[in-house]
Amino acid sequence: MKPLVKAEGLEAGYGKVRVVHDVDLEVGSGELVALLGPNGAGKTTTILTIAGELAPLGGTVRCLDRIDNASLHERSRAGLALVTDTHAVFTRMTVAENLRVFHTTADTVVEMFPELASHLDRRVALLSGGQQQMLALGLALSRRPSLILADELSIGLAPIITDRLFSVLRAAADDGVGVLLVEQYVHKALAIADRVYVMDRGRIAISGTAVDLRERVNEIQASYLTGTPA
């Protein structure tokens, strides 16, 4: 089976400044792959390059069977969904209005996140950060993407909300969606992932199955994630 994402020798950054160096990374259908690392390691740059927001500075990225420099919009039409910590929703609209804009139904999103059922007529700006992130993820998954890129969904959220978001991502992978999760919560990511890459200063420092790396979590945190939450 061809991977949904395959980066080989990826070099990425901003202008002439290279932040990511010689990265090899794959995500297949039905698997959840975690990309871990401290702030500044290059995780977001990597995921934005895979999404088409940034053009690679070297190497290749095959995304959804395309190896060109397709834009995020083009890749989204091909089956990619990108969810970031900035909540990709219209905050001046109500939840119900967001659902209409995304051409989906309340039942579809509320089935994933029942917590939103009583807030359909509320303006999104008045929701909590966790509720906004639930809505953003629910809207993304309602499009039935083949691949979802999730960047730091847990920032600023309570652990119980993070658990809810992660459980929905795990369920999506179990239903056949490929998931690339950029994250700093090491234990939580290892608990739901199939495979893991750990970035350090723009390079992949460790990679392996989540089962194997759970045995090395203290080493990973001590060597690469000092100061990040567990």
pLDDT digits (tens, 9 = 90+) for 27-81: 999 999 999 988 889 999 999 999 999 999 999 999 998 766 788 888 999 999 9
Which candidate, 225, 192, 205, 217, places its Cα nearest to that of 31? 192
pLDDT of residue 1: 63
Along the 230 residues of the chain, how does pLDDT read in single tens digits? 679 999 999 999 999 899 999 999 999 999 999 999 888 899 999 999 999 999 999 999 999 987 667 888 889 999 999 998 776 789 999 999 999 999 999 999 999 999 999 999 999 999 999 999 999 999 999 999 999 999 988 888 899 999 999 999 999 999 999 999 998 888 899 999 999 999 999 999 999 999 999 988 888 877 676 544 43
Q: Is the dihedral angle over the CA atoms 133, 121, 89, 171 positive or is it negative?
A: positive
What are the structural domains of the chain?
Answer: 1-79+147-154+171-230 (3.40.50.300), 85-144 (no CATH)
Taking the C-alpha atoms of residue 136 and residue 21, their distance in angstroms, rounded to an integer, is: 31
DSSP 133-164: HHHHHHHHHHT--SEEEEE-TTTT--HHHHHH
Which candidate, 223, 134, 140, places its Cα nearest to that of 186? 223
Taking the C-alpha atoms of residue 79 and residue 55, their distance in angstroms, rounded to an integer, is: 19
pTM for the model: 0.91
User: CA-CA distances (angstroms) from residue 50 to 16, 81, 108, 121, 125?
Assistant: 18, 11, 27, 35, 29
DSSP 22-85: EEEEEE-TT-EEEEE--TTSSHHHHHHHHHTSS--SEEEEEETTB-S---HHHHHHTTEEEE-T
Tokens of 45: 């740059």
Cα 15 vs. chain centroid, distance in angstroms?
24
Tokens of 84: 């970031």
